[in-house]
Structure 1
Amino acid sequence: MSTAVEVPPGTAPPARPRRSLTSRPTGADIVFHRVTSTSAIIVLGIMLLVGSFLALRAADALSVAKLDFLTETKWEPDAHHFGIAGVLTGTVLIGLVAILFAVPLATATALYISEYAPARLQRTFITLIDLMAAVPSVVYGLWGFFFLQNQVVPLAQWISERFGWLPFLGIDTEGYVKGSATSQNTVFTSSTFIAGIVVAFMVTPIMCALMREAFSQAPIGEREGAYALGSTKWGMIRTVVLPFGKGGIIGGSMLGLGRALGETIAVYMVLSVVPAFQPNIFQNGGSSVSSLIALRYGEAQEFSLSALFAAGLALFLMTMAINFTASTIVARSRSGAESG
C-alpha cells in the first residue's frame, strides 16, 4: 500500500521528471517525407545507372588499355594506342584557369551584393547574376570566339613573352618569333587560357549564389559586436563574414570546378582541339575530355566508341568526387564556428 509523501508547509513539492515531448506527423508531413525520400532515392539510382552504363560500354576499351589508359598521352583507339593523360591534363588546366578568374570575381560580387549594395537593388542584382546561369553555352562560345579572343590575345602574348620561363606559360612551337604581331593570330588564338576565361564566366553565377547565401547568414550579433568594438566595415567583413562564409567559398569554388571540368560546347567552339599532351595554356590548341568526345563521337567505330565511353567514365568519376567533396564542406559549415 503506497503512502503519500507529506510536504511541509511553505515548501514546494518535489520536482517530477517531465514526460518526453512527442509530435504526431500530419498527413502533409507524411506525404512530404515520402516524396523527398523517393526523390533522393531516384536521383541516387539514376547516378548509379549512369555510372554502370558508362562502365559497361567502356569495358572493351579498358580491357585492352588497362593501366595505360591513365598514362598514355596519344589518342589512337583504332590502333589500340590511346589514353586520357593528355586530354585529362587539358581538362584540369581549363578548370584551373576558370577557377583562377571565377573565384575572385564571384567572391567580390557576392560580398558587394550582401554587404554593400543598396537594399532596393539587391534583388535586381541577384536576378541579373542568376540569369547569367541561364545563358546557353553556345552563346558563351560565340562570345568567346568572336569577341573575347581578340581582346585577350595581346595579354596572353605579353605574359608568355615575359614569364615564359615558368611552367605552362611558355610557347613550344617552331616558327614563333618573339614580339611578332603575326604570331598573335597563329600561336595565341584558340588556347586553353581563352577557353578557361570563357568557362570562368559560365561558372561564376553558381559560385556567386552559394557564396552570397553563406555571407548573408553571418550572425547579426557578431556583426554588431565587431562594430561595437570599433571595427570598420571591412574589418567586420574580414573578421566575421569571411570566416563564417569560408565553407561557402570553398564549397562554391569546388562546385564551380566540377562544372568547369565538364563544359563541352563553349570549350569545343573556342579551343582548337588537339587530343595530345599540350601543357602550355597560352599556346594554340589544347584538349579536354568533353570536347574530345564531342569531336570524335560522330565518326567513332565500335571500339573507338568504347574508348570514348571510358574517357566519359573517368570524367564522370572525377566530377562526382569533386561535387561530393564540395557538398561535404558546405554541409559542415556552421554558424559562427570560425569567426573571431
Structure 2
Amino acid sequence: MSEAAASGPTTYVVAPEPADVPEPRRALRERAVGGDRAFMAGLTGSGLSVLVIIGVIGLFLTVRAWQALHVAGWSFLTTQQWQPGAGTGSQTRFGVAGILTGTVLIGLTAIVMAVPLAFGTALYISEYAPARAKRALTSAVDLMAAIPSVVYGLWGFLFLEPRAGHIARWMATYLDWIPIFKVDGARPDDPLAPATVYTASTFIVGMVVALMITPIVCAMMRESFSQAPLGEREGAYALGATKWGVIRMVVLPFGRGGMIGGTMLGLGRALGETIAVFMIISLVFQIQPHLLQAGGSSVAALIASHYGTATPFELSALMAAGLTLFLLTLVVNLAASAIIARSRSGQESG
C-alpha cells in the first residue's frame, strides 16, 4: 500500500474571496433655495429680534436705574423702606427687600391655588371629557386668558374681597398655629371685630391672580397630556391596565416636563401682574409673611402707584425695582423653557 493511500484523503481548503467593504454614505445636505431660504431667514430674524428686544429692555432699565443703584448700593436688596426722596440726605432710604418678598409670596400663593385646578381641568379635558365637551371646555379655558386684567381686578375688589374675609377669619381661627396664617392684632372669636384686618391681603390677591394664570398652566398641561404616545397607551391597555393606570403609568410621566414648565411659566406671569394687584393690595414696605393679614407688597403695584407723581430720582428708584422684577421673571421663564426643552416624548413613561 502506498503512503498516499495510508494517509487518507487529501483535504483542500479554499480561501474565501475578499468581501467588498461598502463605502460610508455621504451625509445628505439640504440646500435651501428660493422660498425656503427666505422663510429660514425670516425665522432667524424673528428669533434674533426677540433676543435684541429683551437686551434693549434690560439695558434701558439698567441705564435709567443706575443713579438710584449708585446711591443705594447693595443695601437696595436688603432695605425694607421706600423713601427715595431727592437722593440726598439721611432721609433717603429705599430698597426692595419687603417689596420683593411680597411679590414672591403673591406668586407662590397663586401657584398653590392655580396648579391643582389647572391640573384637574387639563386631565379631565384630555382624558375623560367627551369629544363635544372637550372642544367646548378647551375654548372656555382659552377664553379665560383673554379676559383683561382690570376685569379680574374689579371682580376681586367688588365681589371676592368682601366674601373671602369669612374664609380668612376661619383660617385665622383654626390654623393660626401655622405662622403664615397668623394675623397680628386679630380677634377671630369676637363676632364684632372688624373684618378689615383680613382685607387687601396677600391671600385675596393670590386668589385673583390664581384665576388669571390658571388658563396658561392648564393649556400647557393639556397639550402635554394629549401628546402622550398612542402606542404606549394601547400597550398598557393590552396588559390589563385601567384608565387611571394608563394615566399614572403613561400620561403623567410623559407630561411631567409640561407640568413643571407650565407651573413655572404661570409663576412668571404671577410675579409681574400689575393692575389686579394694584386694585386690591394695600402696600406695605416691610417683610410681611402673614398671608391673611391686611397689607402686602408687589413690585408691579409699587411702580403703578408711584409712577405718576415720582420725582426724577424716585423714577430712577422705580426703574431699579423694575429691573429687579425683570431679572427675577427672566430667570423663572428661562428655567421653565429649559425644563420644557429637556422633556421629550416618552422618555420617562413605562
| Superposition TM-score tier, normalisation by shorter sequence | over 0.9
Find the partner of 2:130 among 98, 118, 125: 118
Which has the larger displacement, 71-80 or 90-99? Answer: 71-80
Matched, 1:259 2:269: yes
Q: Provide Cα deviations, 1:92-111, integer angstroms capped at 9, x if missing partner.
A: 11001100011111111111
What TM-score, normalized to structure 1?
A: 0.93
Aligned 8 A contact 2:220 2:262 in 1: yes
In the aligned structure 1, how far is the partner of 2:96 from the partner of 2:20? 77
In the aligned structure 2, how far is the partner of 1:22 from the partner of 1:177? 75
Matched, 1:240 2:223: no
Letter in 1 for 2:52: G
Letter in 2 for 1:99: I
Aligned-pair CA distance for 1:148: 1.4
SS at match of 1:279: coil
Matched, 1:154 2:166: yes
Number of residues of Structure 1 aligned to a counterpart in Structure 2: 330
Aligned 8 A contact 1:157 1:184 in 2: no
Aligned 8 A contact 2:271 2:329 in 1: yes
Find the partner of 2:112 among 100, 111, 117: 100
In the aligned structure 2, how far is the partner of 1:88 from the partner of 1:122? 40
In the aligned structure 2, how far is the partner of 1:16 from the partner of 1:86? 68
Determine the structure 2 residue equivalent to 1:226. Answer: 236
In the aligned structure 1, how far is the partner of 2:225 from the partner of 2:146? 23
Matched, 1:316 2:326: yes
Aligned 8 A contact 2:172 2:188 in 1: no
In the aligned structure 1, how far is the partner of 2:191 from the partner of 2:103? 29
Segments of 5+ residues of structure 1 without an aligned counterpart are 1-7
Determine the structure 2 residue equivalent to 1:47. Answer: 54
Structure 1 pair 146–27 and aligned structure 2 pair: CA distance change class (3 A) = same
In the aligned structure 2, how far is the partner of 1:263 from the partner of 1:164? 29
Determine the structure 1 residue equivalent to 2:28. Answer: 21
Aligned-pair CA distance for 1:90: 0.7
In the aligned structure 2, how far is the partner of 1:241 from the partner of 1:17? 40
Letter in 1 for 2:275: I
Aligned-pair CA distance for 1:24: 3.2
Query: After superposition, where does 1:230-309 map in structure 2 within 5 Å?
Result: 230-309=240-319
Find the partner of 2:92 among 80, 94, 97: 80
Query: After superposition, where does 1:157-236 map in structure 2 within 5 Å?
Result: 157-173=169-185, 176-183=186-193, 185-236=195-246
In the aligned structure 1, how far is the partner of 2:266 from the partner of 2:318? 24
Letter in 1 for 2:254: F
Letter in 1 for 2:340: V
Matched, 1:64 2:71: yes
What TM-score, normalized to structure 2?
A: 0.90
Matched, 1:145 2:152: no
Structure 1 pair 269–22 and aligned structure 2 pair: CA distance change class (3 A) = same
In the aligned structure 2, how far is the partner of 1:17 from the partner of 1:285? 71
Aligned 8 A contact 2:170 2:188 in 1: no
Matched, 1:31 2:38: yes
Q: Provide Cα deviations, 1:256-310, integer angstroms capped at 9, x if missing partner.
A: 0000000000001111222332211101111101001111111111111111110
Which has the larger displacement, 24-33 or 64-73? Answer: 24-33
Letter in 2 for 1:97: T
Aligned 8 A contact 1:275 1:292 in 2: no
In the aligned structure 1, how far is the partner of 2:25 from the partner of 2:98? 67
In the aligned structure 2, how far is the partner of 1:178 from the partner of 1:115? 43
In the aligned structure 2, how far is the partner of 1:110 from the partner of 1:208? 5
Q: Provide Cα deviations, 1:21-72, integer angstroms capped at 9, x if missing partner.
A: 3333232211111111111111111111110111111111111111111111
In the aligned structure 2, how far is the partner of 1:128 from the partner of 1:210? 15
Letter in 2 for 1:187: V
Letter in 2 for 1:161: T
Aligned-pair CA distance for 1:185: 2.4
Letter in 2 for 1:49: V
Segments of 5+ residues of structure 2 without an aligned counterpart are 1-16, 86-90
In the aligned structure 2, how far is the partner of 1:303 from the partner of 1:161? 44
Letter in 2 for 1:88: L
